[in-house]
Structure 1
Amino acid sequence: MKKYDYIILGTGPAAYQLIKLLATQHKSILAIESGLFGGTCPNVGCEPKIYLDGAVQAALLSKQLEGHGIEQAATMNWSQLMKEKKERFASWANETRKNISKVCDVINGSAHFIDRQTIEANRHYFQGNKIIIATGRRPHELSIPGAKFVHDSSDVLSLNKLPEHVTFIGGGYIAMELATFLAAAGSQVTILVRGDRVLRHFYQKYSRELVVKMKERGIQFKFETEPTRITQLSDKYVVELNQDGPMVTDYVVNASGRTPNIEKLDLSAAQIDYSTRGIDVDRHLQTNVNNIYAIGDVTSQDIPNLTPVAEFQAQYLFNSLENGFTQPINYPVIGTGVFAFPQLAQAGINPDSVLEDGDNFEIKEYELSQSSLYAGQKEKGLLTVVYDKANYIVGVSEISTSAINDINYFIPIIGLRINKNEWHRNVLQIYPALADKIEGILR
């Protein structure tokens, strides 16, 4: 039985970052991957999504400017875009495997625990002084008749032929983003939302505004609506609903959420605590078993499941295990965004959480249309800023065509606790761009 300093289950962003760091310490490492090397993000997630988003944003912005200096809006060629996307990303998984293989042993196969130090993979046994679980998440499976007919986000991001009508199940960021993409390319889109709102973790005023904007482009929403059965009808599908009549569609996408990849690990064999939300860890990312840790989306922590968060955890765990760092993990200001049109983005305190706390916080909303930058794009974006009692910015939320990059600019202001005097003493920005916005708020 071969023994290692570290056995790492998964090769997504968290694991990949940790492997690179541990390799600098000349540790013996075994990486086991049951799917695509590199995980969801670079292969079938955020990287290909943002690649497609470039064309989508350009097409929709040209539509917004039609009749305002643009004579004819751009038309997307989905097949060509998808062909070029596949050419770019087809080799990424193999390249990631090659990179990892240069610094550690690699197995492509399913793994599970035998005991607290032993893993079985491909009918071979391995022991690790420390075991890191970084197996990520996968799309949540529907438990309705006909669930076999649905597709997931990975399928959409490799969809060769554009369906005439697409039905999304779910109101999270995956549904809102992919619905934006397909509708921009020419599909008719319907979104089924189980509750009465979308994007529950975002500032709800702006989430509702995004729904309004998407409806204006022809995207339909059905709230408090769930599918109860899906049947095939020739080359189409009939989606039966808990209310209203059945609807006929060409393509059904399950975007109802993601679930941790833990079922095949046999965590009970190592007596690891977990729930349906993921693997339980403490503030040192340690499970209840002292030599086993978990990082990335597979944990049950109540934090955003984002690639930068996973990589931050990897860096923390490396410092903890190899550099003697003893402090619990302390997360920085985390920004998150929705690549729809317009975009939604936020960082720090969500205004919804302090709406009734006027004694400790002040909430101000700024219209962006007065800036020449936004006026030139016929943009009517909104920015909400949360100030604390000392007048520091502690939260920002925005809806606009450039919200994600805009909010990124505020993150260091929040995280570094920069006040107005420090800003004006140390910063002069390029004008007239984002400077219009920041200067107005910090003036």
Structure 2
Amino acid sequence: MYDYDVLFIGSGHATWHGALKLVQAGKKVAFVDGDLIGGTCTNYGCDAKILLDAPFVFVNGLKRYKGIGIEKTPKICWEDLMKYKKQVIQPLPMALEKGIFAKAGMPVIHETARFEDAHTVIAGTKRITADKIVIGTGEHPVKRDIPGKEYIHDSRDFLDLAAFPQRVAFIGAGIISMEFASMAIELGAEVTVIHHNSRALKMYPAKYVDIVVKKMADEGVKFDFNESVERIDKVEDAFCITYQSGRSITVDYVMEATGREPNVDELDLANAGVAYSRRGIQVNAYLQTTTPNIYASGDVIDKRIPKLTPTATFESNYIADHILNPNTAPIQYPVIPNLVFTLPRIAQVGVSVDTALKDPEHYQVVSVPYGKTLLFEAKNEQYADFTFVFDMEHTLVGAAFLSDDAGMFVDLITLIINQKLTKQQLNQMIFAFPTESYGLISMVSGLLK
């Protein structure tokens, strides 16, 4: 007899959605988590980022109307914004545990978990057994092993800065660095982005990335491409970053965002026969690990699917379905949109633009200068642009967007792609006008079969 039907290691989106479904089906579940309840996204990731980001979006939009109705744009006070962030975000773990979890009868053991065997977890002084176990421990930022690495901060540190530094260096030109650099330059900081090659945001369409990089550079961001950090030295109250090329810069704050690794080191997975690598835990098409009664969910999985919060939620719900019905079909992922919160945003979904351009025999790429075509709907975003990818039957299979509203656009297109909607089906619907989404739907409707 086990203590629980299902034990979840980790309490973020990769676990609790499925746990709730299992409880509602009559299963006895519990969580083991030595960190904040709710995981990275809730506490020091997505939620904190989008809260802090909102004023920057407003200011960026107002700047586009300078001289045509707006004469002076407001300044953002980071200190006040951070106080507000803490008021909103800090109560969330307790709200989850004492609210959703407690009402559902899902207890939390506040300890770090390690496996004793395939059905047993040690959490502090407690020995807990379960029929099924779900690992949803996520990832942590990678910090390069160089002299002075103790001076490097990560995204969690940045999102909790009490006062904003005057000179900031971001190591890496991926999503997190580019998002934070977009904010830092608006606050008046001297911003440097250091990247080991010549391409920022390599997973996104180059033509859109180039526009974002140019805009950020025009605002004052300095991009040191084709440079790698060799060492960091503390010089009084500042930090000297030396590149392998021999060049150096002096800043007040160094943040690195060059990758993430799975949180598996403390789990003693070998005791449970669970295979893993530095890329994550190995799973089959049912999200089972090499030990079938143990599942993995979310960012801790070794997978090619984008490691995003909605993906983790999707996997969590799938695992619950499979536990309740072992005959459930293998997991089938729909197209997954992803979005980088620069200013402007870049979003994409489905077949990528780069893939389509390299394969003209199977795909057709159509670009629409949205900002120039429908400027009154595009909120004066003259650079706003849409790119659609069609197969040879002219069914929409992918898209990319450059706009502050790219998130809304990509969600609408994701629905159209997943449902394989045709021009006739869209034309049978009536949408609000004049809205940004109406403009998008009008454009794509005219291009569909």
| TM-score range normalised by the length of the shorter chain | over 0.9
Asked if residue 416 in structure 1 is aligned to residue 419 in structure 2, the reply is: yes
SS state of the match for residue 290, structure 1? coil
Runs of 4+ residues over 3 Å off in structure 1? none
1:258 matched residue in structure 2: 260
Change in 2 beyond 3 A, CA 1:29/1:378? closer
Asked if residue 114 in structure 1 is aligned to residue 104 in structure 2, the reply is: no
Supply the AA of the counterpart residue of 1:396: A
Range moving further from structure 2, 116-125 or 59-68: 59-68
Query: Which residue of 388, 405, 408 corresponds with 1:405?
Result: 408
- Does the 8 A contact of 1:171 with 1:198 survive in 2? yes
Q: Give 1:314-393 correspondences, 5 Å limit.
A: 314-368=316-370, 369-374=372-377, 376-393=379-396
1:203 matched residue in structure 2: 205
Range moving further from structure 2, 316-325 or 165-174: 316-325
Q: Give 1:421-432 correspondences, 5 Å limit.
A: 421-432=424-435
Range moving further from structure 2, 299-308 or 365-374: 365-374
2:62 & 2:56 partners in 1: Cα distance?
10
1:325 & 1:224 partners in 2: Cα distance?
51
Unmatched tracts of structure 1, length 5 or more: none
SS state of the match for residue 56, structure 1? helix
1:405 & 1:341 partners in 2: Cα distance?
15
1:154 & 1:68 partners in 2: Cα distance?
39
TM superposition shift of 1:255: 1.0
Offset from partner CA, 1:125-168 (integer Å, 9 cap, x none): 11111111000011112211111111111111111111001100
2:87 & 2:327 partners in 1: Cα distance?
42
2:59 matched residue in structure 1: 59
TM superposition shift of 1:331: 0.5
Range moving further from structure 2, 354-363 or 320-329: 320-329
1:200 & 1:279 partners in 2: Cα distance?
25
Change in 2 beyond 3 A, CA 1:351/1:158? same
Tell me the C-alpha RMSD between the 2 structures. Answer: 1.5
1:300 matched residue in structure 2: 302
Report sequence identity in percent: 33
1:45 matched residue in structure 2: 45
1:246 matched residue in structure 2: 248
Offset from partner CA, 1:34-82 (integer Å, 9 cap, x none): 1111001111111111111110111122223222321112211111111
2:238 matched residue in structure 1: 236
Change in 2 beyond 3 A, CA 1:242/1:145? same
Unmatched tracts of structure 2, length 5 or more: none
1:321 & 1:287 partners in 2: Cα distance?
14
TM superposition shift of 1:432: 4.4
2:148 matched residue in structure 1: 146
- Does the 8 A contact of 2:7 with 2:31 survive in 1? yes
2:126 & 2:51 partners in 1: Cα distance?
39
TM superposition shift of 1:324: 4.2
Offset from partner CA, 1:378-407 (integer Å, 9 cap, x none): 432111100111111110001112111111
Supply the AA of the counterpart residue of 2:97: R
1:71 & 1:428 partners in 2: Cα distance?
34
Supply the AA of the counterpart residue of 1:406: F
- Does the 8 A contact of 1:63 with 1:74 survive in 2? no
SS state of the match for residue 334, structure 1? coil
Offset from partner CA, 1:211-258 (integer Å, 9 cap, x none): 111111111111121211111111111111112411100000111111
Supply the AA of the counterpart residue of 2:78: W
- Does the 8 A contact of 1:371 with 1:437 survive in 2? no
Corresponding residue pairs, total: 443
